[in-house]
Structure 1
Amino acid sequence: MLHFTAHDGAVTLQSTVNGAADLGTRALVVQCAVLVVSCALLPSLVIRYLGYKWTVAGCMLLYVPFVALQLWPRYETLLPAAAVMGLASGPLWTAKSAYLSASARRWAELAARPAHDAQLRFFAVFYAFYNFALVSGNVLSFLILTAGGTETVPGELCGADFCPSDRGAAANPNFRPPSTRQLITLYGVLVACIACAVLFVAGGLHQLHSDQEDEEYGDMRATLRLVSAAANLHRDPVQLLLVPITIFTGLTQAFFNADFTEAFVSCSWGIAHIGGVVACYGASNCAASVALGWRGRSAGHAALVSAYGGCYCLLLAALFVWAPDASKAAPFFLLAAFWGIADCGILVVNSVCGILFRGREKAAYSNVRLWETVGFLYGYACSPLLCMRVKLVVMAALLAAAVCGYWAAEYLAGRRAANSFWLQEQQKDQQEACPADLQRAALEGRWQKPAPAGNT
């Protein structure tokens, strides 16, 4: 949480504080592009020599240059720092996921609970704290940048009418950067947060003794097999049908970080208020993630993904018609809070891949990360080029393709399940299921008693 307090506090200001010559968004493009290579090649090598604990601590430390060099924003300083951060992100997230997965499996054994239930709960708790970092980072930004008062003028051509070519201090004083003293204070506090995070991990996190499955993360041959399996998985029509919704999840996050903060918040209310609005988004997303982790299974993935699509339909419609006005602060926070709830669908999309590609989860999750990064790249790359209405139309079209693709994937996966019977898999499912799940399945008519082995 401390580490991503610093990261999120810096990233949400890139399109505004570093808006000159589109430096901030280009730095984020570099980070995402390097992240693709990092995720494919570096995690196994780094984890093999450092282990989970020291991989997490070392990669956290490599985020410091990007945050510190916000005080000297130049192409020759910020872009290399963004590349270093992208290189560190791949091993960091892989080590984090492997550590959480191993911990969840061992907790499930001790508590006699289904492994998949433990995985969902562990990741739900993790993402609750991860999302809370968005709150803490932007609260710091808001408090520091508004200290001493702010001056806001009515912004023109904001919201859906905004175009990057209309931006600039001469056209809109709300884009004027904060004072140097405020920036030094802010980024000094954020660097201190990273330093504290590294000390906590180094001094407080146990070094897990990897079992045979976890040791695959340190085997380069296993990584190459995973890359090959992820590429081959695209031959499966179900995987191809899920590509649009995965891209959409990345695109929406890039849109919120770069375009919403610039065109709707900063343009009409000033850079200093970005932190308060984004903190509201993070708080609602954090609360909704916890609720989804504990109660989401009863609703079913199909219903949750459909609700995700419906929420974004409402959001895009609101962004088309809303004219942001600094004298009316409530709509900023209400829209951000609703957006945070809608973005919990990202957890559902990740969970769906684990269900539809059972036995091929690692390859499926690699593709999820790949296509999410493609969405990030497209969103950040197009941020300084396209007008807001064009971006909203593109997002609406991609949303329609995403929801239709998901339903087609569910239908195709259902047809496959109906036309095949795997006794061993069914018995495994029943052994992992808890009694409450079996009772619910029996009431719904989904559970069948396994056939004797001789009648297979």
Structure 2
Amino acid sequence: MLCFVLFDDIIELNYWIHYRAHLVYAFVWGNLISSFIFQNDGTNTTVKVNGEICGPNFCPQLGYNSTNIFEPPKHQIYIFTGACCGLSILAILLMAFFITDINGQKTSGRVWSLVKQVSLLLCTSRSQHLLMFPTLLSGLTEGFLYGDFTQAYVSCSYGIKDVGFAMIAFGIAQSAGSIIFGKLNQYTGHMVIYIFGCMIQTGLYITMLYWTPISSQQYVIYILGAMIGIGGSINLLIVSALYNLYFSKKKIVAISSYRMLSSTGIALSFGYSNWLCSRYKLYILLTFVGLSCISLTVQHIRYKRKQRDKSN
């Protein structure tokens, strides 16, 4: 969280759109590398899809028998680990040689002051309370994608070799959604876009509740991954923009609060990931989608009333 606190001094909507658009290149290449590395050697080309224990019926606590989740060969693990270490070292070197401190100021005291302000905002601000559900939803969705969708719908059904390709569909759709809905937001307003996103997410999670993977419908996992990306892009885009709108005089504190709550949602998702079946995780996401849409509608009405009172 503290890394994002220092990075997000001022985050604007246009910056977020361009950031997501450029991030897709790294996302695609990273998942292409993992997919090609973990391709089967030809020794086990037959995939048996067991819809009774995969998809919405997947329960981690029952074990992975009769699924396509298996430990890849050692040489693939070594290659993948080496690739990750090499890219990490390259990233560190690039940051060391090319990243500079813009302000040239010490940050230790500033960080602790910021933590206190974030805590105060979380406890006292009504607007922050109403933004809490949408912010937590961002983290819960991300945690479900990485911890549950890839396991219950992709690996369990078709093997780990398809995880990277499903994630590529997610990354492209999320980046495209950020650009498209960011432009549309200028004409329709925040709430129209967000309600549309809630409808997409509701339809998506209901579909995932009733669809069970079968061999002839492998393409569906790529569609689901893309829809998660579109719904997530709307939530991330609108919520981050609303933090800047409602807390225009203290953007640093507000965005830091956003990052903390979003990270909390990710932690919660991973926390109950190994204890709940996929069906119940989808129920949780549907509940948060409904609460998020209601709370943002209430906050939007409150904001419009305040603007009208000021104008009068």
Fold conserved between structures, TM > 0.5: yes
* Contact 2:8-2:252 at 8 Å conserved across structures: no
Which residue in the other structure is 1:188 paired with? Answer: 82
Does the alignment pair 1:138 with 2:31?
A: yes
Aligned mate of 2:165, from 262, 265, 276? 276
Shift of the alpha carbon at 1:318? 0.7
Q: How does 1:93-132 map to 2 (within 5 A)?
A: 93-98=4-9, 101=10, 119-132=12-25
Which residue in the other structure is 1:51 paired with? Answer: none
Does the residue aligned with 2:13 lie in a helix, a strand or coil? helix
Shift of the alpha carbon at 1:148? 2.4
* Contact 1:226-1:363 at 8 Å conserved across structures: yes
Q: Call closer, same or farther: CA 1:209–1:268 in 2, change over 3 Å.
A: closer
Aligned mate of 1:375, from 251, 265, 274? 265
Does the alignment pair 1:339 with 2:228?
A: yes
* Contact 1:320-1:392 at 8 Å conserved across structures: yes
Which residue in the other structure is 1:407 paired with? Answer: 297
* Contact 2:139-2:262 at 8 Å conserved across structures: yes
Task: Work out the CA distance in 2 between the residues paired with 1:95 and 1:222.
Answer: 9
Task: Work out the CA distance in 2 between the residues paired with 1:96 and 1:236.
Answer: 23
Q: Report 1 or 2 for greater relative contact order, CA contacts < 8 Å, sequence distance ≥ 6.
A: 2
Q: Call closer, same or farther: CA 1:188–1:382 in 2, change over 3 Å.
A: same
CA deviations 1:227-271 (Å, max 9, x no partner) are 232222231222111111111110010001011111111111112
Does the alignment pair 1:394 with 2:284?
A: yes
Task: Work out the CA distance in 1 between the residues paired with 2:168 and 2:140.
Answer: 20
Task: Work out the CA distance in 2 between the residues paired with 1:181 and 1:376.
Answer: 31
Q: How does 1:141-156 map to 2 (within 5 A)?
A: 141-149=34-42, 150-151=44-45, 152-155=47-50, 156=52
Task: Work out the CA distance in 2 between the residues paired with 1:221 and 1:173.
Answer: 51
Task: Work out the CA distance in 2 between the residues paired with 1:221 and 1:307.
Answer: 42
Q: Call closer, same or farther: CA 1:200–1:378 in 2, change over 3 Å.
A: same
Task: Work out the CA distance in 1 between the residues paired with 2:102 and 2:282.
Answer: 48
Does the alignment pair 1:228 with 2:121?
A: no
Q: Call closer, same or farther: CA 1:366–1:335 in 2, change over 3 Å.
A: same
- Larger mean CA deviation between 285-294 and 379-388 belongs to 285-294
* Contact 2:55-2:212 at 8 Å conserved across structures: yes
Does the alignment pair 1:353 with 2:264?
A: no
Does the alignment pair 1:159 with 2:159?
A: no
Q: Which amino acid aligns with 1:272?
A: K
Unaligned runs of 5+ in 1: 1-38, 40-89, 102-115, 423-456
Shift of the alpha carbon at 1:398? 1.5
Task: Work out the CA distance in 2 between the residues paired with 1:231 and 1:173.
Answer: 44
Task: Work out the CA distance in 2 between the residues paired with 1:134 and 1:148.
Answer: 25
Greater C-alpha Rg = 1
Does the residue aligned with 2:215 lie in a helix, a strand or coil? coil
Shift of the alpha carbon at 1:202? 3.1
Q: How does 1:170-319 map to 2 (within 5 A)?
A: 171-205=65-99, 207-210=100-103, 215=105, 218-233=106-121, 234-319=123-208
- What's the TM-score once normalised by structure 1's chain length? 0.63
Does the residue aligned with 1:175 lie in a helix, a strand or coil? coil
Does the alignment pair 1:320 with 2:214?
A: no
* Contact 1:121-1:294 at 8 Å conserved across structures: no
Q: Which amino acid aligns with 1:406?
A: L
Shift of the alpha carbon at 1:157? 1.4
* Contact 2:5-2:256 at 8 Å conserved across structures: no
Give the % identical residues.
23
Does the residue aligned with 2:216 lie in a helix, a strand or coil? coil
Q: Call closer, same or farther: CA 1:192–1:407 in 2, change over 3 Å.
A: same
Q: How many residues align?
A: 307
Task: Work out the CA distance in 1 between the residues paired with 2:215 and 2:92.
Answer: 39
Q: Which amino acid aligns with 2:69?
A: F
- What's the TM-score once normalised by structure 2's chain length? 0.90
Task: Work out the CA distance in 1 between the residues paired with 2:201 and 2:102.
Answer: 43
Q: Which amino acid aligns with 2:48?
A: V
CA deviations 1:367-398 (Å, max 9, x no partner) are 11121112111100111001122111111111
Task: Work out the CA distance in 1 between the residues paired with 2:98 and 2:108.
Answer: 29
CA deviations 1:25-73 (Å, max 9, x no partner) are xxxxxxxxxxxxxx3xxxxxxxxxxxxxxxxxxxxxxxxxxxxxxxxxx
- Larger mean CA deviation between 342-351 and 221-230 belongs to 221-230
* Contact 2:48-2:157 at 8 Å conserved across structures: yes
